């Protein structure tokens, strides 16, 4: 399965590095090629995260392969991103071809604006709920949950919660044994609880 992680200026580092680690570690810990994990951005120029990490995307928005799983992290950069019609249009087209798409933290602003959360449950960073609700008035907030699962569209709470959602989705796709072994490889305390 192709796992595409969208990155942008002022992205929150752990929002995208956490899920990247989970899906990559599933491959490494099982000596398998379950997932092809890559990043993409508006261009292939280095992207500076909110924490100062510079990342070189694997693809730009015009060359990124159609993913099976699309991951949209958060960060202060989402405020500007939702005003970028060209990028939002591409994300909308990619979403149509995905099996699963999930947001992390304030990345929920993007599916909110694109209408993916209408009538769906969502969670996000505790400081961003009001903002997302204004962007998607028909969405149903679940502030006590670390992640939500609406089938194709999933959301997670802030920062580290993206790791929990990644493990949840890994188990959903590959089963409990692989998820548990991957968590052990990462020495991560695996939880199956959404709250």
pTM above 0.95, yes or no: yes
The model's pLDDT over 49-100, given as tens digits with 9 standing for 90+, comes to 999 999 999 999 999 999 999 999 999 999 999 999 999 999 999 999 999 9
Indicate the pLDDT class of residue 192, thresholds 50, 70 and 90.
Answer: low
155, β-bridge pairs: 103, 148
pLDDT of residue 16: 98
Report the share of the chain in percent with pLDDT over 70. 98
In a domain, 17, yes or no: yes
- Specify if 191 maps to a domain: no
Q: Is residue 193 part of a domain?
A: no
**Region 23-31: what's the mean pLDDT?**
97
**Which CATH number characterizes residue 26's domain?**
3.40.50.880
What is the per-residue pLDDT for 193?
64
Kindly state whether residue 162 falls inside one of the protein's structural domains. yes
Residue that is written with structure tokens 């995208």 in the block? 16
Residue 169 lies in a domain: yes
In a domain, 129, yes or no: yes
Range of the domain at 94: 2-186
Token pair for 128: 């961003």
Whether 43 maps to a domain, the answer reads yes
Task: Count structural domains, the chain.
Answer: 1
At residue 195 the predicted structure's pLDDT band, cuts being 50, 70 and 90, is: low
How far apart CA 192 and CA 145 sit, in angstroms, is 12
Dist. CA 124–CA 145, nearest whole Å: 9
Beta strands 140-141 and 2-6 are unpaired
Average pLDDT value for residue range 39-57: 97
Asked if the structure places residue 138 within a domain, the reply is yes
């Amino acid at each position: 399965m192709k796992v595409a992680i969208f990155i942008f200026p002022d992205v929150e580092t752990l929002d995208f590095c956490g899920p990247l680690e989970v899906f990559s570690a599933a491959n490494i810990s099982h000596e398998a090629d379950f997932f092809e994990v890559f990043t993409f951005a508006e261009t292939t120029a280095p992207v500076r995260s909110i924490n100062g990490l510079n990342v070189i995307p694997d693809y730009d928005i015009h060359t990124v392969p159609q993913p099976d799983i699309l991951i949209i992290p958060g960060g202060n950069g989402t405020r500007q991103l939702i005003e970028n019609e060209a990028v939002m249009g591409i994300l909308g087209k990619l979403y149509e071809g995905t099996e699963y798409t999930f947001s992390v933290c304030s990345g929920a602003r993007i599916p909110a604006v694109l209408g993916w959360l209408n009538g769906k449950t969502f969670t996000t960073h505790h400081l961003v709920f009001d903002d997302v609700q204004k962007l998607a008035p028909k969405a149903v907030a679940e502030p006590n949950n670390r992640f939500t699962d609406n089938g194709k569209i999933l959301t997670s709470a802030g920062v580290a919660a993206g790791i929990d959602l990644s493990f949840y989705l890994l188990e959903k796709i590959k089963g409990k044994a692989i998820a548990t072994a991957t968590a052990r490889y990462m020495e991560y305390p695996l939880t199956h609880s959404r709250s």
